[in-house]
Chains A and B, each alone.
Chain A
């Protein structure tokens, strides 16, 4: 094992990682929650973030970089703080997702607050085309919704409240009969 310099870890981050480690028979299982926690603190899985997680978990930073780079939601480059994942997989694209993504990307322009990404199927084809905005599913979206979506985000308001998936009833008419 290589000898590394002692790494300073923010106390809250250390506590959160340790809490996750305690949940599993093998503490290594906490890699994903730990990396997500570090990403929240640092904005992305930067080398510094990886070294901090490594120091708490007792694994190498290389191991964590390997893990982080495998998963779409872990960022290995600096990104904007608001994530806008636009589903561009088949069901959404059949309903205009590619145009929607282009419109959001275009509207966000060079604003570094936003991390607008095309994403694989987000599991919400019933509200296609849709996006996950900081983890909140909204849809079906039209190009007309784009300015308000970004404005809501800029203003820290709930995004497109009436289009949030959580408000939607089951499509099966007999389900609630």
Chain B
């Protein structure tokens, strides 16, 4: 009897001791896709955490979510701060007029489809006469503040809209209308505007937003149906009964204070750039050389030095985002007939590649690459490139399989 009890007791003690094993599971820094930038001071870290809490908060109907929405929390489109999953895709639409102009169909609840709704309010559908429809996969969030901190002049200097150097790459600077509420919300010391007073679009797959403040306010409004002083009107369903549209979500606007919007913006600005991994792996080292020699790096620019901003921790940092922040013609295969801002239907902003290797860990173990998640592998993503990138893709396809795998190993190390 005593022996039997002793046996069970020993087993239990061993199980307790086993806890030491599972407790030692803190992920290493190079496994974390999104984290506060290590250089934040105590006050900045507190503000970052306040924004982080808002990012992870699920808003309720009583707090103003809806009446139509895509998600109730930022987190559910950017799991682990990473790229989104098609189940929460963003669908945007518009209509081409007979005179060749694109309209955002604002009166028909455009340009974004909110396909979920609060109880009792009908969800939206894409209008039948919308002939430009695009599906977008939410982007990863690491290092966004450092992209915002890139000096405008540095972006402009890399542009080659007329392909003067004859390399078939002709990235151009996206100049877009900056809403009045974005004024005074820039962190860079200087901004470059074109002759129409339009400013460089830095965020959004079509470079529509001029800064992260605008991007955060738009996402809260168009994705969650949460209003701010910047975006002060709830999305609606134009087909809903008039009395329902007048009620909306029933919560007075703005539903989020300026202070919280600023905290959310600061959170986005203060996330650390995604870490590199496997940098000593010979395949990765060879892959990086191939990335350069095939010409990928012409658009996916590897290095910037950030400019001077009002946030000291962002200033004069060497970063490796693998984007040039410019618009490029990506060919008919990636032309969805939809446009916004300064971009043509076939033009896309070069997406940053940092964090690519950790993307699958935020997408449920599957890869969903390109703007709409159409490519399930990095190889497929490369093959989806066209337009200006056609010649680069051909360079990749000329490589033998071993070299192609090395280049992909490099991409996975980002």
A and B: interacting chains: no
State the B residues within 8 Å of A (CB): none
Binding site for B on A (CB under 8 A): none
